[in-house]
Amino acid sequence: MNKKTDSLLFKLSILFVFITILIMGITGFLTYREQTRNYENECQERIQNVGRYLSSLMEADGEEFIAFQNYLIRHRDELSLPVDFSTDYREAKNQMISMLAEHYPGRTVGVDFSYEELEPETARSFALYNYIYWTGIFEKAREEFGVIYTYYITPSEKPFHMYYVIDGVRMEKEDGSGDMFICLDVEEPLEKHEKMWEAWNTGIAPNGYDVYGDEYEYGNTYAYYTPLTIHRKTIGVIGAEIEIEKVNRRILKNSVRLGSEIGLIIFLSSMILLIFINHYYLKKLRSLQQNVGIYAETKDVTIANLITKDIRHRNEITALSSQIAAMILELDTHMKNLIAARTELNVTREQMQMLGLQAERDALTGIRNRLAYDNEVNRIEYRMTAEGFTAFGIAMIDLNFLKRINDNYGHDKGNFAIKRICEITCRTFSHSPVFRIGGDEFVVILENEDYINAENLVEQFRRTLQDISLDKSLSPWEQVSAAIGWTRFTPGQDENIESVFKRADSLMYENKTAMKAARTD
């Protein structure tokens, strides 16, 4: 044992030094923060103004910008521009006007016919003109507002992916053509881009920023996002980033000097106090500290006897030594009892957890079962009462022809069909819990993004089953079919989850009846 580094005198010295450094740091930090606050506010206002400015320009274009965005996304792999293209859009504009005059004489696009009706070459010219025009607008805004990066994005079909419709970074293709990627599809995980996705999901500019580090294109930046709303519909998000600039050296120097002066005064005072404490107390505590250290390492209860033998005179130190010796003896007894109780408790807890998980899991599919569904219903009804929670819906799914599959091909093929429809359901409604409540019945409690996009997801579910039914390479038990009915909780109409469940169940049976009628026809 190193007596110097393990002594209370040494540790108190370190503590006083730490306190001195801490106060120096706090003083410097407060000085730095006060002098830089105005600068940070100025940066924040500038980055927000970029989003507002670009949003106002894009909203003014209305249907033309929507048509441009839609075309660019659909044909992004077919369009090409050199990576060093000029943002002087006049030539592209004149070419577009000439093609409109040639193909649509005397008619005005957006008035006499829609942008979607443009013939392919004119539509391509229209898209390239808009791309060059808006790229120039974004680059000019970046320069005039003093930000480092501007871009416009909209979600792609992939979860947590964004199309960079207008991008301040020109990425050259690796095929040697000298062309750049247009409308790049980039993964943007929620945990790293919370404000980006908040702007898209809410349609409201969020408070605060996403902070990006050195792993990104422009290093350390603040990113502010403004949703683009046209005709009351959010179609994308405008991003602007500003560099986190280094602190002014003069401010930093003043902060360090002030903190150092205060720290020196505190340090000298601490040293005087430390000499006094060492002379009157620490020498007597050193022996006690060493014995307690041995006990902490070895848990040897005989150390209590050594501590008792070292007690001389009556003062705070000897009283503390007596209490520590008694505590060691009592602690030894308690520790033995505690270890035994904890071991028993851990075994019981593990058994209970295992039983609870097994009780709520469907043995065939591995998803939650009817018991888990009932527990989830109780949880949601509690939230409805305590929080006024109403943002949920229910989808009922019933597998068709299970009995026929079991009878004709065996129960193992029926089990395959059940697991197959379960897999499709879980993949489609990936943000909501799925339950198997009967042999061929499943329930989805629509939550979060699935609640918002329920109509699209139900249609996607039906299309998936339709594609499977048309695949003649599949066996009969692989060509799964199911009826689905869904609905949302409606305040004023629904009092509890049961009424939503019944309505979804009724709609499911209507769908099943319609499917039977279609097969009869």
CA distances from 129 to 81, 89, 431 (A): 11, 6, 39
Residues 208 and 47: their CA atoms lie apart, in Å, by 11
pLDDT-based confidence at residue 88 (cuts at 50, 70, 90): very high
Q: Which residues pair with 229 in a beta bridge?
A: 234
Residues 367 and 433: their CA atoms lie apart, in Å, by 9
- Nearest-CA neighbor of 212 among 226, 200, 195, 236? 195
Average pLDDT of the residues of the chain: 85
Identify whether residues 330 and 198 lie together within a single domain.
no
* Bridge-based pairing state of the strands 482-488 and 210-212: unpaired
Lowest mean pLDDT among 46-50, 63-67, 366-370: 46-50
- Nearest-CA neighbor of 317 among 285, 292, 339, 346? 285
Identify whether residues 228 and 268 lie together within a single domain.
no
**What is the per-residue pLDDT for 349?**
75
- Three-state SS string over 5-45 comes to HHCHHHHHHHHHHHHHHHHHHHHHHHHHHHHHHHHHHHHHH
Query: Which tens digits make up the pLDDT trace of 470-479?
Result: 999 999 999 9
Is residue 117 included in any domain, yes or no?
no
Instruction: Write down which residue in 330, 359, 388 finishes a domain.
Output: 359
Identify whether residues 159 and 215 lie together within a single domain.
yes
- How confident is the model over 257-278, as a mean pLDDT? 74
Q: Which CATH number characterizes residue 140's domain?
A: 3.30.450.20
Question: Is the confidence at residue 219, as pLDDT, over 60?
Answer: no
Question: Is the confidence at residue 156, as pLDDT, over 70?
Answer: yes
Lowest mean pLDDT among 112-116, 151-155, 227-231: 112-116
Give 177's DSSP letter.
S
Query: Which tens digits make up the pLDDT trace of 466-512?
Result: 999 999 999 999 999 999 999 999 999 998 999 999 999 999 999 99
- Residue 481's φ and ψ, nearest 5 degrees, are -135, 145
Q: How many domains does the chain have?
A: 4
Query: Which tens digits make up the pLDDT trace of 392-433?
Result: 999 999 999 999 999 999 999 999 999 999 999 999 999 999
Identify whether residues 396 and 288 lie together within a single domain.
no
Give the residue numbers spanning the domain of 28: 1-48+254-296
pTM over 0.95: no
Is residue 55 included in any domain, yes or no?
no
- Residue 106's Cβ-side half-sphere holds a number of Cα atoms within 13 Å equal to 0
Residues 359 and 209: their CA atoms lie apart, in Å, by 44
Q: Which CATH number characterizes residue 509's domain?
A: 3.30.70.270
